[in-house]
Amino acid sequence: MRDVVVIGAGPAGSTAATLLAREGFDTLVLDQAIFPRFHIGESLLPIDLPIFENLGFEAGDGAFLKKCGAEFIDERSGSFSEFLFVDGLSGTPPYAYQVDRATFDNALLMRTREAGAEVRVGVKVTDVEMLGDRVRVSASDGVHEARYCIDATGQDAFLARRAHTVEPIKGFGVAAVFGHYDPLTEARWKELARTGSIKILMLEQGWSWLIPIESHRLSFGVVSHKATFSPDLLDSVASASKVVQHFTNGAPRTEKRVIRNFSYKNTASHGSRWACIGDAACFLDPVFSSGVSLAMLGAERLVEGLAPALRTNTERSADVTQPFRKKMERAYDTFASLIHSFYNTKLVENLFFVEHPDPEIRAGLISVLAGDVWRTDNRFQEMLLTGRHHRHV
């Protein structure tokens, strides 16, 4: 009988497993992939810095590119706005990182092993049974029983799709198509690496991203909010954008990839002896790069409640997840409201591209963009959470 079985070894699963193992709990991690493996979601947020410190994870060792902020560009109107994290509200961490997810996720998983958790990759979970006094996980390597089970299977959302509890969130992007330019010319790489900022290009059908990654690579993708989506959109946006052409001229591009399972919530993300974290609980449109950060911070918060319950043999109670759910609700609601405003209001024109913004509101926006969403002194965030465009996830 294990203490905990974690299904999924991405950032959410590895974070939870590292913290649990470090507390002395017998923790098993199962993942069907062989690490390192490719994954999208390369732009992190400053709010990750405290969790990195908690994990003993060193992101600033040269493997990843320092990210100073975000740039928003509308080539149709010539509008440009730069948001540097250092200009956020006092206390907001001043920078983040752009990462190659194969390298990043594998490094996090190494910390999990070092903490004492058992990690088995290339193992596919086929069934999970809640038996009252334990959880039984059937997998390709056998049957595992534990006092608690954490679903960190990302967009596969194993428990949610098995129980048909995935509910789409309307009004956001519907699909993404992306690829990598590799290698960039030295001149273009130096230009991008100066700030390491993500570039968001405003489009009629949605938006696109440009994310510089170490080793002279550039991640380029397009998110569409229109139902008539075609992978050819990537090529048409690239050929029509002077910004994209400027940075990618002469660089070969990898094969296009498509993601269609966009913006959903798991309406049953916890229960007696189990909880879902990260994208297995909720996935929001990635325009503000919140996915990895909310996954890791959610894992940390879940363990804060689960560890004491495991010590006192009270982990069966669903109340174990209450502090985790309360904290994550504020984060998901904040980002969902910002995303809804991005797509369905004139937020971009009236705030992102306004010539003389209210300094306090702008600083508050930057703190939200940094993922610093659990403070009580952000007037912009409170406007999001109480205004008519507030979205509850």
pLDDT of residue 43: 98
- CATH assignment at residue 207: 3.30.9.100
Per-residue pLDDT at 204:
93
The answer to whether residue 391 is domain-embedded is no
Q: What is the mean pLDDT of residues 25-48?
A: 97
**Over residues 199-206, mean pLDDT:** 96
So what's the pLDDT on residue 232? 95
pLDDT tier for residue 325 given thresholds of 50, 70 and 90: very high
Burial of 79 (0-12, 13-18, 19+ CB in 10 A): middle
What residues does 209 pair with on adjacent strands? 200, 221
Examine the pLDDT at 342 and tell me if it is beyond 90: yes
Please give the structure tokens belonging to residue 351: 């705030």
pLDDT at residue 319 in the model = 86
Residue 262: per-residue pLDDT:
83
One domain for residues 184 and 308: no
Q: pLDDT at position 32, please?
A: 98
Q: What is the pLDDT of residue 381?
A: 98
Same domain flag for 146 and 273: yes
**pLDDT score for 62:** 85
Q: Please check whether residues 279 and 135 belong to one and the same domain.
A: yes
Task: Say what percent of the chain tops pLDDT 70.
Answer: 100
Alpha-carbon distance of 185 to 223, in angstroms, equals: 26
Within-domain flag for 144: yes
User: Cβ distance 78 to 42 under 8 Å?
Assistant: no
Instruction: Note whether 153 and 289 are same-domain residues.
Output: yes
Domain termination residue (choose one: 235, 259, 283): 259
Residue 14, domain CATH: 3.50.50.60
**230 in the same domain as 85:** no
- Inform me whether the pLDDT recorded for 261 exceeds 80: no
Q: Is-contact 211 198, C-beta < 8 A?
A: yes
In sequence order, the β-bridge partners of residue 221 are 178, 209
| Nearest alpha carbon to residue 327 among 102, 120, 47, 122 | 47
Q: Are residues 8 and 146 in the same domain?
A: yes
Q: Is residue 100 part of a domain?
A: yes
**321 and 189 together in one domain:** no
- The answer to whether the beta carbons of residues 146 and 3 sit under 8 Å apart is yes
Locate all alpha helices (DSSP H) within 194-290, ordered by sequence.
233-240, 242-248
pLDDT of residue 234: 97
228/180 Cα distance (integer angstroms):
24
Q: How many domains is the chain partitioned into structurally?
A: 2
The residue type at 307: A
Provide the pLDDT for residue 246: 98
CA atoms of 248 and 124, how far apart (whole Å): 38
Mean pLDDT for the chain? 96
37, burial (CB in 10 Å: exposed 0-12, middle 13-18, buried 19+): middle
- What residue numbers bound the domain in which 378 lies? 2-167+263-386
The pTM of this model reads 0.96
205: in domain:
yes
**Averaged pLDDT for residues 243-259:** 96
Answer positive or negative: Cα dihedral of 82, 86, 90, 93: positive
Q: What is the pLDDT of residues 110-147, one digit of tens each?
A: 999 999 999 999 999 999 999 999 999 999 999 999 99
Please tell me what DSSP assigns to residue 354: -
Residue 75 has pLDDT above 90, yes or no: yes
In a domain, 366, yes or no: yes
Please give the pLDDT value at position 318.
Answer: 82
Same domain, 211 and 360: no
- State whether 224 and 241 are in the same domain: yes
Closest C-alpha to 212, from 383, 22, 360, 44:
44
Are residues 223 and 195 both part of a single domain? yes
Residues 105 and 156 in one domain: yes
pLDDT for the residue numbered 293: 97
Confidence of residue 263 (pLDDT cuts 50, 70, 90): very high
Q: Where a domain ends, among 193, 226, 259? A: 259
Looking at the domain assignment, is residue 213 inside a domain? yes
Same domain, 280 and 217: no
Kindly state whether residue 89 falls inside one of the protein's structural domains.
yes
DSSP secondary-structure letter at 209? Answer: E
Cis peptide bond prior to 183, omega within 30° of 0: yes
- Tell me, yes or no, whether 393 lies in a domain: no
pLDDT on residue 229 = 87
Q: What percent of the chain clears pLDDT 90, i.e. is strictly above it?
A: 94
Show which of 259, 277, 299 is a domain's final residue: 259
